[in-house]
Amino acid sequence: MKRILVTGGAGFIGANFVRYITAHTEVHVVVVDLLTYAGNPESLKGLPEERVELRIGDITDAKLVDELVSSVDAVVHFAAESHNDNSLHDPAPFVNTNVIGTFTLLEAVRRHDVRFHHISTDEVYGDLELDDPGRFTETTPYNPSSPYSSTKAASDLLVRAWVRSFGVRATLSNCSNNYGPYQHVEKFIPRQITSILNGERPKLYGAGTNVRDWIHVDDHSSAVWTILQHGAMGRTYLIGADGEQNNRDVLGSILESMGHERDAFDMVTDRPGHDLRYAIDASSLRNELGWRPQRQDFSEGLAQTIKWYRENRWWWGLLKTQTEERYSAQETTNARALAARGTEQ
């Protein structure tokens, strides 16, 4: 592969993948990104312009997608609306980007016989009980619980159907929760870090017992590159680094690392449909393709992530203000709706 198209390459995981590719290969990367609130061209700052090309555009634009796909050897599809809270507030963009966008890309790679890799999430499997010793595998039935995870499940099924029905050369991967630099401040770890850096008390949904399986974004990038090169067509590979921790412990570690007491946070009402536990069995990826995570020391990765946000306020400062204003407006709307329902009763 000499030239690849990365959709959503100005977003968190996509931009880190582009950085990984430019650091470890000679591949030319074309990034297509609509630059919505979650896409930031500054996340690609400093990369060699002769090897990284940014095209601003929508993956539901069939003409643009066809033009871009026709010029590359492979497509790595990161572009997605991905924040659960936002999907509960307005599901429409999730259906448009995650379902229609994926369909548009699949039709283009089918026309031009281009290799396709689809990035998905472990959230399509629903959740596990906190005391369940099991983990998600490639054969776990889909059981999505939010508009976000439902639209990602739909996009996964489209890819599988295009492989079987039309012979599209595609692989899929479902990854656990990523963390690292360039992550939007609406997400759990950067939201807590940036709140503390701003002198504010961080907030924790519910009791904080919900468990996530954390993986450093660099390990996700290396796994995707391994699958793109060596994965079996039509296969789904789960990507994880055995990083299960509950949200309360993660927040406590962040606070402690930043010089605060582990309980220096406020508890807020849990969000609707908050999944209890995610856990990934990545044995197929490890045993069949030989991939191994290199960043499994969570405390070290967390310290490096905190350091990055501390040193890069220029990247997140305005985003933080806008995000917190949006959350505040949503909370006000929700409170009014609850009050109105109470009056009606």
User: Mean pLDDT, 10 residues at a time, over the chain (345 residues)?
Assistant: 97 98 98 95 97 98 98 98 82 95 98 98 94 94 94 98 98 97 96 97 94 97 98 98 97 98 94 87 97 96 98 97 88 66 61
253 belongs to a structural domain: no
The burial class, CB within 10 Å (0-12 / 13-18 / 19+), for 114 is buried
For residue 167, the enclosing domain spans 3-184+214-246+277-299
| Predicted pLDDT at 36 | 92
Decide if 305 is inside a domain.
Answer: no
148 carries an active-site annotation = yes
Residue 175 is assigned to a structural domain of this protein: yes
Q: What is the pLDDT of residue 282?
A: 97
Q: Residue 104 domain-assigned?
A: yes
Model pLDDT, residue 326: 86
- The single residue of 122, 186, 213, 219 carrying the catalytic annotation is 122
pLDDT at residue number 274: 84
Residue 120 has a pLDDT of 98
Of these residues, 123, 218, 219, 244, which one is catalytic?
123
The three-state secondary structure class of 116 is: strand
- Predicted confidence at residue 343, as pLDDT, reads 61
Which token pair is 94?
Answer: 């999730």
In a domain, 224, yes or no: yes
* Token output for 243: 């990083």
The CATH number assigned to the domain holding 137 equals 3.40.50.720
CA 341 to chain centre: 35
Catalytic residue from among 20, 125, 148, 278: 148
The domain tally of the chain equals 1
In a domain, 257, yes or no: no
Q: State yes or no: is 122 an active-site residue.
A: yes
Residue 203 domain flag = no
Distance between CA atoms of residues 62 and 59, nearest Å:
7
Q: Indicate whether 289 belongs to any domain.
A: yes
Q: What is the DSSP string of 222-259?
A: HHHHHHHHHPPTT-EEEE--S-EEEHHHHHHHHHHHTT
How many Å is the Cα radius of gyration of the chain? 20
